[in-house]
């Protein structure tokens, strides 16, 4: 369920939605709502947005909501940071910002990760375009001049539509 802190500004169509995060508090509320969706397991979520948009911040809130404790490392240098939720859910946090070696895709096992079970989250998915599957849900975060965030959600698959529906579409 989406709580009162997640005002829906616009509903372009069933597959998409625009939200407005007034602060990181709203990022957290959205992350908790998403974490409660059963369709999240095995989902691939692509995170679009410029440097500083708030992609990693969202991932941290989502990992916390899924029960990950302790320091959450950013995967920028490792490309992928794996996590395991207390209920056994495998979560792979990718950051393709510095990804530029196509051989790494197979060598580092990224193909296997995307083919296997678990939740996959990817920052800078553009840098791995053509290698990743189509994202179930694309989230685009844009920082406004007043530091609030404009957020666009786009479902590309039935699983993505399930996620949106669970959020109250």
Ligand X SMILES: Nc1ncnc2c1ncn2[C@@H]1O[C@H](COP(=O)(O)OP(=O)(O)O)[C@@H](O)[C@H]1O
Q: Which of 77, 134, 147, 158 binds ligand X (CB under 6 A)?
A: 147
Burial class (CB in 10 A: 0-12, 13-18, 19+), 15: middle
User: What residues numbered 55-74 form the site for Mg ion, per CB under 5 A?
Assistant: 55-56
Contact in structure between 27 and 51 (CB atoms under 8 Å): no
Q: Which of 83, 93, 149, 159 binds ligand X (CB under 6 A)?
A: 149
Residue number with the shortest CB distance to Mg ion? Answer: 56
Residue number with the shortest CB distance to ligand X? Answer: 54
Report the candidate in 159, 169, 165 with the shortest Cα–Cα distance to residue 41: 159
Report the candidate in 105, 101, 83, 104 with the shortest Cα–Cα distance to residue 92: 83
Given the complex with ligand X, which of 27 and 37 has the nearer CB atom?
27
Distance of CA 41 to the CA centre of its chain: 12
What is the pattern of x (binds ligand X, CB under 6 A) and - over residues 75-114?
----------------------------------------
Give residues in contact with ligand X (CB under 6 A).
21, 23-24, 27, 49, 51-57, 123, 147, 149
């Amino acid at each position: 369920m989406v709580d009162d802190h997640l005002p829906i500004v616009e509903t372009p169509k069933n597959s998409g939605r625009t939200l407005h995060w007034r602060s990181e508090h709203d990022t957290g509320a959205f992350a908790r709502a998403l974490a409660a969706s059963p369709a999240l397991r095995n989902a691939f979520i692509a995170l679009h947005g410029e440097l500083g948009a708030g992609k990693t911040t969202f991932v941290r809130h989502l990992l916390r909501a899924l029960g990950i404790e302790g320091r959450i490392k950013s995967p920028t240098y490792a490309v992928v940071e794996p996590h395991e939720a207390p209920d056994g859910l495998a979560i792979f946090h990718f950051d393709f910002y510095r990804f530029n070696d196509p051989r790494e895709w197979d060598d580092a096992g990224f193909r296997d990760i995307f083919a296997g079970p678990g939740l996959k989250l990817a920052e800078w998915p553009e840098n791995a375009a053509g290698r990743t599957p189509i994202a179930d849900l694309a989230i685009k975060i844009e920082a406004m001049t007043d530091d609030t965030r404009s957020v666009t959600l786009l479902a590309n698959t039935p699983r993505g539509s399930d996620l949106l529906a669970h959020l109250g579409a």
